[in-house]
């Protein structure tokens, strides 16, 4: 169980690193001129971050997390703290999907959002992470 828990934590750290970095890249990409060398560099960085780090880490986080729940009964779907944590993970996964869509839009030079929008979006993963960690560690409910 400790190996699975360790792999789950490692996966989450990698996923969160990407979830915090990708919107920051998009802040600068939104200000770059379409077709510029800078914009093309951001496209490569965003695609690689999403495909090589974030998505595999998200999948691993889900696999190891579900393994902990169902394989080792680390939580129950009747625990309020777990339901809130699970909702946070679902929202974080939805945010991942939203960011993946933004990467596709940038790749096609079809981004419609401002740098300010991405600055605000950058706070969402942090807020979700705080909620999730508090639910897991403190278990206030």
Binding-site members are: 8, 85
Cβ neighbours around 8 below 10 Å, total: 20
> Can you list the alpha helix ranges (DSSP code H) found in the chain?
2-31, 37-48, 55-66, 72, 80-107, 115-121, 123-137
- Spell out the long-range contacts of 26-29 with Cβ–Cβ below 8 A and sequence spacing 24 or more: 26/99, 26/102, 26/106, 26/111, 26/113, 26/118, 26/121, 27/115, 27/118, 27/119, 27/122, 28/115, 29/106, 29/111
Annotated binding site for heme: 8, 85
CA dihedral 128, 58, 106, 49 (to 10 degrees): 110
């Amino acid at each position: 169980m400790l190996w699975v828990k360790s792999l789950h934590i490692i996966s989450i750290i990698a996923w969160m690193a990407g979830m915090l970095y990708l919107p920051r890249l998009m802040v600068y990409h939104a200000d770059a001129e379409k077709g510029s060398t800078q914009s093309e560099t951001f496209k490569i960085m965003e695609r690689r971050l999403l495909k090589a780090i974030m998505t595999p880490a998200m999948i691993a986080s889900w696999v190891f997390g579900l393994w902990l729940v169902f394989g080792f009964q680390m939580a129950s779907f009747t625990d309020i703290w777990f339901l809130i944590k699970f909702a946070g993970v679902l929202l974080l996964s939805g945010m991942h999907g939203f960011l993946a869509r933004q990467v596709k839009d940038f790749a096609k030079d079809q981004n419609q959002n401002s740098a300010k929008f991405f600055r605000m979006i950058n706070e969402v993963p942090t807020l979700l992470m705080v909620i999730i960690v508090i639910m897991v560690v403190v278990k206030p409910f």
